[in-house]
Each structure stands twice: as structure tokens, then as C-alpha cells.
Amino acid sequence: MLWSETADTNALCASIANEHANNDMALAIIGYSLTRHDSLKIVEGLAELAPSLIFTGCSTSGEVTPDGMQEHGFIATLLPKRWFDVHLTLLNDVAALGMETIARKISDARQHFLASLQKTEDKSGVFALNLIDGLSYSEETVTLAIDRGLDGIPLIGGSAGDDLQFVRTWQITNSQACTGAAVLSLIHCRLPCQVYTNNNFVPTEHKLVVTEADPDRRCVSEFNAEPAAVAYANAIGMRPEDLDAGSFASYSVIVRFGGQHYCRSIQQLNDDQSLTFFCAIDNGLVLTVARSEGMVASTRAAIDMIEDAIGDIELLFGFDCIYRKLDARHRQTTHRISSLYKEKNFVGINTYGEQYNSMHINQTFTGVAIGTPKETTDLPLDAYDR
């Protein structure tokens, strides 16, 4: 594990190359802030210093490290070949590919990857990790298509961020620095592992029906035949002019699918009192204003359930929605959630949305838990190194 808030790109690439040379890594998963790091410089640096290393990564809106939450930094999670096998698929211009093309490409990659594993390998340890442009407006259809091509392999994913600028996000892999792309990693883990997702919201009595929307732009003009910002502000007891990212994070709206509630987070207030969302939205959709049941308690309970299932956790890797971070700040619980992450070995990136199997979701804590090896003398991952 490598992370820093202040080190420059060259030094970080050199550190990753050194770790790979010493420990033979199967994959590096990289998250980085565009405020301090250039995507092409990372790609070129690793190509020069570690040409045999396979890597995937994206720009973020913050990182979660073994030291806790950080801003405008860099983190690399390194998976050793001893415990992991990996196959990467890059989907360029992903919004224009079409569902059938994506599903076929992923199906071909899945078949190739599974065939490459030894016959004695336990295929139940296979999962997929997707990093996608968080401003592509295509996460729902892409996630559904990828899930179809995976044919039952569990999927987790994160939508790349750009420090809440909402201008452009980046996705990187070997020899490629892209925008508007997705990079899917098929990963075989020889350790106990389990994918997970969790949110901390429960419904209230306040309903918001989408009565006018532009689904292509994820923009709602009216709720309940009122200007969207007015109806939403009234439902949460605020004035429309006071709405901001903090209020959107703390007062989410949710939708019910398959007996479960999923967040549909609001990205921004527009000048015409419409609201732009991070997730797909459509006319007639019924949303419910939600309240938090306590982020720290909810997250701890979710991790406890994972520990009950797979035993001691060596690493929790995943995606923590940027709105969870803003909500924790608003409720003054940042220190408590950061301490929990440190206690439970969670590392990852703050994202503009998350993917779990066939769904694109918001305001969740989503990822994969990696358990400890059977051997007591060996660890699956290198010791943390700053």
C-alpha cells in the first residue's frame, strides 16, 4: 500500500515500481487527485519504471488511506501475484458502445480469464472491479451490460471524480489515459473474499414525484408539479437558495427496488431551480426523502456482518461516495468514521457513485473484503508503506 497527500507523481511512480520489483504484483489499483497529479504523467511514469506492472486507476474526490481520510492525494493498492490473478478490459468511449457490444466484450473477457486459471483453482474467488467516468451519464446502462457479460461474477465499481469540479474525470491503465472510459478488472483471489454494499438511510413520509425531467441530462425540473428545488427544499425544511452539496449529502432521496432502498443523490442546483442528479432519473419516478440512521453505526454493523461471514479481514478495499464524506463533515462525525476505517483496514477512494452487481447507486460504502490467509506466518498484502 502506498499513499501520500504531498509527494509528487514521479516519486510515487518510483515507489510503486520498487514495490513491484520486490514483491511481483498482479495489479496496482490507483486513485489520485487531479489537483496534484496528471493522468498521463502517471501512465508514462509507470510505463518507464515498471513496464511489466498491470495497473488500473482513476481520478478521485478524495482518498481513504491507512491514516484515514485525505484530500487531493494519491493512493495505490497493490495485489501480489501470490494471491491474485488479473485480467483487464478497457472500454473506450463507453457511452457510445451500446449494451450488446459491452456485454459481448465482457463475456469474451470472462471466458478467456476463467480458462486461464488452473483447473484446481476455486472459481468462487473471482470478482470484477470497474472504474468508470463519473460524468459520462452512462453508468446505469454500462453497469447493466457489464453484469450481463459477467454472467454471475460479482461486480463492484466506482465512478471517477474530479474533486467536485464536475468538469472531467480520468481513467488510466497500461499505456492509456482516457476520459469517458471504463476499465474492468477481473480478479481471482485465493483468499477468503466477499463483495459488499451499505448505505445508512431510511425513508421518511415525504414523497417527491418527478413530474418533469430530462433523463438524458439526469435533470429534474419539477417535483409534484412544483419547481424541483422548491419542492425538495420544502420537504427538508430549507430555503431553495440555501441548498448546496452539504444539504444534498445530508438529505438524500431514495428509490425502492426489489425490496431495498437505494439513494439517488442530487449533484447540483441549477439557475432555473432544476436539480441535476448523479443517477438516472425519469418522469413518474417516485422518490422518498430519507433520513440517516447513523453512518458510523450502520457501517460498523455492515463490517461486522462481513467478519461473521469470512473471518478476520486483512483488507477492505472500496468506494466511499463523496456525499458520505460531506455528510460526515456536516454532522461532525468525520473523525469517528475515519477512525472506524482505520480500525477495520478500509482503504479506497471517494467517488461520484458506486456500482454493485447490476446497479449503479449513490451514497454508499461499496467494495470487497479480503480475509487473512490460512497460513499464520504469511500475509496476503505487503505491509503498509508510506
Domain ranges for the chain, please list them: 2-198+296-371, 201-291
Sign of the alpha-carbon torsion through 13, 14, 15, 17:
positive
What is d(CA 87, CA 117) in angstroms, rounded to the nearest whole number? 11
Q: Which residues contact 245 (CB under 8 A, 6 or more apart)?
A: 164, 268, 323, 326
291 three-class SS: strand
Query: In this predicted structure, what is the pLDDT of residue 376?
Result: 47
Query: In this predicted structure, what is the pLDDT of residue 295?
Result: 93
Q: Which three cell numbers stand for residue 15?
A: 515507489
230 exposed, middle or buried (CB, 10 Å; 0-12, 13-18, 19+)?
Answer: middle
Query: In this predicted structure, what is the pLDDT of residue 375?
Result: 61
106 exposed, middle or buried (CB, 10 Å; 0-12, 13-18, 19+)?
Answer: buried
Nearest Cα residue to 75 out of 88, 85, 89, 61: 61
Query: In this predicted structure, what is the pLDDT of residue 120?
Result: 76
Query: In this predicted structure, what is the pLDDT of residue 209?
Result: 97
131 three-class SS: strand
Query: In this predicted structure, what is the pLDDT of residue 377?
Result: 42
Which architecture, in CATH terms, is 201-291? Beta Barrel (2.40)
pTM over 0.75: yes
Q: Which three cell numbers stand for residue 77?
A: 493498492
The mean pLDDT values, 10 residues at a time, for the chain of 386 residues are: 94 97 97 97 98 98 96 97 97 96 98 91 91 95 98 98 96 96 98 94 93 95 97 95 91 85 91 94 94 91 95 96 93 95 97 96 96 63 43
Query: In this predicted structure, what is the pLDDT of residue 32?
Result: 98
